[in-house]
């Protein structure tokens, strides 16, 4: 989601999760020199040992940043937008593996 700020990403993730129900939502946006990431995990995802705060922190490191938050909702940032696609691809793979 190019050019979307952190607050808009958070709102989008929360709305997507409400619409999807039990789910894991990870969104990211990159602009010049800045990356914003958000993760929203339902209770069933938390029950499988995945926590949004810990998860998003690891993904943000790939973009030269960090972050964290609660088990169900977390935000992070980074400094290297060129790594965003790779980070989101990694997030998808980690979620698929973690939710099996």
20: domain CATH number? Answer: 3.10.310.40
pTM here is 0.93
**Cβ(60)–Cβ(28) under 8 Å?**
no
Please give the residue range of the domain that contains residue 69.
Answer: 6-98
Model pLDDT, residue 97: 95
In a domain? residue 1: no
Per residue of the chain (100 residues), give pLDDT as tens: 777 888 999 999 999 999 999 999 999 999 889 999 999 999 999 999 999 999 999 999 999 999 999 999 999 999 999 999 999 999 999 999 999 8
Model pLDDT, residue 76: 97
**Cβ(87)–Cβ(67) under 8 Å?**
no
Instruction: List strands edge to edge, sheet with 24-31.
Output: 24-31, 34-41, 73-78, 66-69
């Amino acid at each position: 989601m190019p050019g979307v700020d952190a607050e808009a990403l958070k709102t989008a993730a929360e709305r997507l999760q409400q619409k999807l129900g039990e789910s894991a939502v990870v969104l990211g946006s990159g602009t010049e020199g800045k990356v914003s990431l958000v993760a929203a995990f339902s209770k069933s995802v938390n029950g499988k040992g995945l926590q949004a705060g810990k998860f998003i922190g690891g993904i943000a490191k790939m973009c030269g940043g960090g972050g964290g938050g609660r088990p169900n909702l977390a935000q992070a940032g980074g400094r290297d937008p060129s790594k965003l696609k790779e980070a989101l691809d990694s997030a998808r793979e980690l979620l698929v593996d973690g939710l099996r």
